[in-house]
Amino acid sequence: MSFFDEADEPRPASRPAARRRGPTGGGRRPPASDPSYGVRRGIALGGLVILVILIGIGVHSCQVDQRNSALKDYNSHVAAVIQSSQNTSRQFFQVLSGRGGAGQMRISINQARDSAASELNQAKGFSVPGGLGDAQRNLVLALQMRVDGIAGVGGEIEQAVGGPSTSQGAINAIATQMARLYASDVLYKDYTLPLIVGALKNASIPIGGLDGQQIVSSQFLPDIRWVQPSFVASQLNVSAPSTQSQAKPAPGTHGHHLISVTVGGVTLTPGGSATLPASPAPTFTLNFQNTGQNVEHNVVCQVSVSGTSVSAQTVVPQTNPGQNATCTVPLTSAPTAGTYSVTARIERVPGEVSVVRNSQTFSITFR
């Protein structure tokens, strides 16, 4: 038998590999009956829930911080632009009271208009927090009215002061533009500022003091009397012709009757007493009727506080026979705390014989 014919030697049988076991307690799932496993699993789940809660609190805190920061930034930007507008107001009214030449006054007024336009453009670029869209729209509109009012005065100033005789129409037009400026103050102080203050308070952001947010409530028009043509003429140092005072009153009766006076929606009782806050200075609303037979023009409504220099007035362009009219008279300031006699009055018009029913007086305590 050759080498190749030799039978193969039998090989030892292979044995199945033994199952590998880890160290005792490592890798083996503990039996369900093991109480420590449930405890460990509960602790893990509890830790996960706490982690999720902490993450949620952190995210919410960041959102609140971002919201509060946006509110503070917006209020600071509004305050800055209103302060700048106040500087423009001083520049503008110094020109009107400066007794300068018509040409130079026109140039200076145009410079004030450019400043107001710059402030308007700044406001249009503000980043507005959610919920303050109405405040922003009112702010932009108020600043736009200031630009338009200044421009309107600039367009009339040369006719008002430049010629040998003053144009009554130009004086009246300037007074109308002053009413626009006054309306811008109302829009900002009564419709913009309260929304900003409310948002700050809702966010628990402190207001005032050394560390709180500063609220700027200044107004552009320094004196409500600027809406009266006669006052405009006196400030421009011109003598405007008064056709109404020179002309003979029209035939028939003339006059008005003051029906009621309200403050903050509360009707005051003639001869009675009331208590009003001294700050902000209150606004009086006079409801009256033309009891004559003629149309009356430039009717003056006035409120005065006895024993003080506090008084204010506004002008109603026209009243019609037998019809009611309303005017609002905001005090530019309030007297010191105390009780005063306050009189609301509709001034006499040409041809008016009796003014017995033109006024009402109240005892008002300012606090």
The residue length of the chain stands at: 367
pLDDT at 41 over 80: no
**Can you read off the two tokens belonging to residue 98?**
């400066």
pLDDT at 32 over 70: no
- For position 274, what pLDDT does the model report? 95
- For position 276, what pLDDT does the model report? 93
**Can you read off the two tokens belonging to residue 281?**
């200075």
CB 252 within 8 A of CB 293: yes
Q: In the chain, what percentage of residues exceed pLDDT 90?
A: 56
**What are 216-254's pLDDT values in tens digits?**
988 999 999 999 988 898 888 876 555 444 568 899 999
CB 221 within 8 A of CB 182: yes
CB 79 within 8 A of CB 70: no
- For position 61, what pLDDT does the model report? 64
Q: Which of 313, 143, 318, 158 is nearest to 244 (CA)?
A: 318
Using the 8-state DSSP alphabet, how is residue 355 labeled?
-
**Which of 153 and 240 is assigned the larger pLDDT?**
153
**Which of 212 and 162 is assigned the larger pLDDT?**
212
Rounded-to-integer distance, Cα 202 and Cα 240, Å: 52
The pTM of the whole model exceeds 0.85: no
CB 346 within 8 A of CB 329: no
Rounded-to-integer distance, Cα 237 and Cα 152, Å: 19
Instruction: Assign 2 a pLDDT band (cuts: 50, 70, 90).
Output: very low
Give CATH 2.60.40.10 domain extents, the chain: 250-366
User: Is the C-alpha dihedral spanning 217, 329, 260, 325 positive or negative?
Assistant: negative
State the angle between helix axes of 133-161 and 102-124 in degrees (0 to 180), rounded to the nearest 10: 170
**Can you read off the two tokens belonging to residue 109?**
């007024």
**Which of 220 and 106 is assigned the larger pLDDT?**
220
Cα 315–chain centre separation: 24
pLDDT at 28 over 60: no
- For position 196, what pLDDT does the model report? 96
Summarize the confidence of residues 116-145 as an average pLDDT: 96
pLDDT at 198 over 70: yes
> What CATH number does the domain located at 250-366 have?
2.60.40.10
Instruction: Assign 313 a pLDDT band (cuts: 50, 70, 90).
Output: confident
Name residue, tokens 């040998």: 164
Rg, Å, the chain Cα set:
39
Residue 265, number of CB atoms within 10 A of its CB = 6
